[in-house]
Amino acid sequence: MEKHAILVASAMIFCVAMAPVYGQYYFETVLAPPRVEKMTRLHFFFHDIVTGKNPTSVPIARPNITGAGTYLTLAAMDDTLTVGPELTSTIIGNAQGLSLYTAKDPTMFGTVLYTDFAFTSGRFNGSSFSLFSRYPITKAATAVGTVVELAIVGGRGAFRMARGYALTRAIYSNNGDAGLEFNVTLYHY
Ligand SMILES: *[C@@H]1O[C@H](CO)[C@@H](O)[C@H](O)[C@H]1NC(C)=O
Ligand SMILES: *[C@@H]1O[C@H](CO)[C@@H](O)[C@H](O)[C@H]1NC(C)=O
Ligand SMILES: *[C@@H]1O[C@H](CO)[C@@H](O)[C@H](O)[C@H]1NC(C)=O
């Protein structure tokens, strides 16, 4: 209740603060100045924990369809990014977003990830990249070492306007908890 009141109050402050801003519709289209594209490679580990008292990924909605199982479940995540393969290794960022369990075919069980990977230390502290891609859980789990490619569609900070891809591989998988190795290649300015 108190939280709700604070939210409403801050929303009102925002409205009041915005009120005196008057503007005009404005546009301009020019040739973009030539820019040199940079390429950045990143290596880290991603941990998606669904079990225990402190999960990092939690189901937030699912349809009321008998027998649907996890199909069409939407999960919110705040997953940990670490330097090394253990969850206890140095944390360098977090991946926040949604995971939607979409694949209808139970033999091709998978999700679509809508996730912002942000760095909280090091050279890219404050920057993030946006990943939007399907993740075929069955395929990744079938054979240990299977590499799954994910699409990166944007970014902020040092990764503004980034495009790229991530090559991932499961390094552990226990009762739904999963750890992935990430090799990311980003093209940005
Ligand atoms: C789920 O669907 C069943 C059958 O239509 C219905 O009886 C039940 O109330 C529904 N549950 C919820 C939480 O909506
Ligand atoms: C990352 O950036 C934030 C905000 O600028 C700062 O407070 C924090 O100390 C930085 N962390 C590290 C490890 O550099
Ligand atoms: C990531 O790159 C390292 C170093 O080249 C390599 O050993 C590892 O197999 C790669 N992992 C994936 C998932 O591509």
pLDDT in tens, 44-69: 999 999 999 999 999 999 988 877 77
Does any domain span residue 135? yes
Residue 28 burial by CB count (10 A; 0-12/13-18/19+): exposed, middle or buried? exposed
Contact 57, 49 (CB under 8 A): yes
Contact 93, 189 (CB under 8 A): no
Contact 12, 51 (CB under 8 A): no
DSSP 3-state of 5: helix
Contact 148, 140 (CB under 8 A): yes
**Residue at token pair 């306007």:** 161
**CATH number, domain at 77?**
2.40.480.10
Instruction: Show the tokens assigned to 37.
Output: 């594209």
Tell me what the mean pLDDT of segment 130-157 comes to.
Answer: 89
Does any domain span residue 28? no
Does any domain span residue 8? no
Q: Is 171 in the pocket of ligand 3 (CB under 6 A)?
A: no
Q: What percent of the chain has pLDDT over 90?
A: 68
Does any domain span residue 1? no
Pocket test for ligand 3, best of 41, 42, 43 (most atoms within 8 A of CB): 43
Contact 187, 159 (CB under 8 A): no
Please give the distance, rounded to the nearest whole angstrom, from the Cα atom of residue 157 to the centre of ligand 2.
14
Please give the distance, rounded to the nearest whole angstrom, from the Cα atom of residue 115 to the centre of ligand 2.
21
Tell me what the mean pLDDT of segment 110-124 comes to.
Answer: 96
State the ligand closest to the CA atom of 118.
Answer: 2
Number of domains composing the chain: 1
* pLDDT tens, position by position, 145-171: 799 999 999 999 999 999 999 999 999
What is the rounded CA–CA span in Å between residue 116 and residue 94? 8
